[in-house]
Amino acid sequence: MKTAITQLFNLQYPIILTGMSWISTPELVAAVSNAGGLGILALGPLSAEQTRAAILRVRELTDKPFGVNCALLMPTAKETAEVALELQVPVINFSLGKGDWLIKRCHAYGGKVIATVTTAKHALAAQQQGADAVMVTGHEAAAHGGEVTSLVLIPAVVDAVSIPVIACGGFADQRGVLAALALGAEAVAMGSRFATVKESPLHDNIKQNVIAKDQHDTIFSPHFDGLPARYMKTPLAHQLTRKPVNFFVAAWQALFAAIALKLPVWKVMAGLLVEPQKIRLLASFGAATPRLKAATEQGDLERGMQFIGQSQGLIHDVCSAEEMMQRLMQGLEVKWQAVAEKIQ
C-alpha cells in the first residue's frame, strides 16, 4: 500500500512502531521492520555505548529501514543522538525538545526526520525546522500524549502543515488504520499493540493484564514522571499520581538520579536554585525509572508502573509482529479506496 509515508521511508506498509523505553528493543524493532513497517528503537534509557550496540544489533537482524527515537529531555539524549548520527541511522524521530540541529545533521547524510508533536503549533515549528514528517500523538496514547484526542488533533494538524502526518494514540486494529487515513494521516504509529506481540520484551504478566483490562483502566496524570502521561490503572498508580512530590523530596530524588546517570552532583544542586523545574523533572525521571522497569521487565504491578494507552481495550491476544501486520493490512487498500470514494 502506497502513501506519502511509505514512499518517504521506503516501506511496504504505513505502519510504525513507536520508540518505547525498555520495550522497543532491537528484536522488536527488527520484527516490525521485517514485517514491512518501520521499527523505531528507543534510546531514552540507553547510554552512548548501549546505543551503539543496539543500533548494530538492529542491523544484524534486518536490512530494512528503521529509526531511533531521541527524547531530547532525557539527560543522555545528546550523547545517544550523536551515536545515531555517526552511524547514519536512516530515520531519526525526536520528541520533547527542539530538534533543528538533529534535522540538519541527519539530512546531511541523506536521512529522514520525524518530529513527535502534540499540538498544531509544535507541528508547524517542526515543519519550519525542516522535519520530513510529524508523528501526532493524541490524548489516548500511552505515556506522553497530548491534551486533545486523536479524532480532533490529527485533522487539525493535517490542515496546518504540508508535510506528511503520522497518527498516534488509540490505534490498535485495522479499523483504526482506516480511521486515521480518513482523518488525513499517511501512516499509523502503534505502541501498546506492538508492546504486546510475541517479540516484545514486555513481561508476560503485563501482556496478560493488558488483555484482561479495558479502555477505562488507565490513568492520565502529570504527577509521576514529571510530564502528563497515561498509565495502567492499579492501586499503586492511583497512589502515585494523586499529587506531585514536594520540593525537598524532589531534591533528594534528583541527587540519586544524578548519581545513577553519572551526572555531576554539584550541577544538580546548583540547578535546584537556577532551574528548579528542570531539576524537578530530573528527580521525577529518576524516581520513575525503577518503577517503570519493575513493571516492564519484571511484571510487578505492586511495585511498578506501566505506560499503556486506552487502546488496551482493543487488545485481546498475543501474536507475532508479522501476524499483527497482516491483520492490519489484509485487504486494507481495497477497503480504503471504498472509504475514500464515500468521503470525497
- 321 phi, psi to nearest 5 deg: -60, -40
pLDDT digits (tens, 9 = 90+) for 106-149: 999 999 999 999 999 999 999 999 999 999 999 999 988 899 99
Q: Report the greatest alpha carbon distance in the chain.
A: 63
57 and 124 co-located in one domain: yes
Any domain includes 166: yes
Any domain includes 210: no
195 and 127 co-located in one domain: yes
294 and 332 co-located in one domain: no
254 and 279 co-located in one domain: yes
Strands of the 66-71 sheet, one edge to the other: 15-17, 187-190, 165-168, 133-137, 112-117, 91-95, 66-71, 39-42
Lowest-confidence region among 149-153, 274-278, 306-310:
274-278
57 and 119 co-located in one domain: yes
Classify each residue of 142-178 as buried b or exposed e, where b means 16 or more C-beta atoms within 10 Å of its C-beta: bbbbbebbbbebbbbbbeebebbbbbbbbbbbbebbb
136 and 226 co-located in one domain: no
45 and 191 co-located in one domain: yes
pLDDT digits (tens, 9 = 90+) for 39-95: 999 998 899 999 999 999 999 999 999 999 999 988 789 999 999 999 999 999 999
Any domain includes 315: no
CATH number, domain with residue 325? 3.20.20.70
37 and 90 co-located in one domain: yes
The region, left, alpha or beta by phi > 0 then psi within -120 to 50, assigned to residue 170 is left
Any domain includes 86: yes
Q: How many domains does the chain have?
A: 2
Residue 150: its pLDDT value, please? 98
Any domain includes 35: yes
172 and 191 co-located in one domain: yes
Q: How far apart are CA 111 and CA 93, in angstroms?
A: 11
Any domain includes 206: no
273 and 163 co-located in one domain: no
Q: Which residues contact 273 (CB under 8 A, 6 or more apart)?
A: none
Say if residues 194 and 216 touch (Cβ distance below 8 Å).
no
324 and 283 co-located in one domain: no
pTM: 0.91
12 and 110 co-located in one domain: yes
Q: Which residues contact 338 (CB under 8 A, 6 or more apart)?
A: none
Residue predicted with more confidence, 96 or 174: 174
Its domain, for residue 104, covers 4-199+320-343
Say if residues 141 and 149 touch (Cβ distance below 8 Å).
no
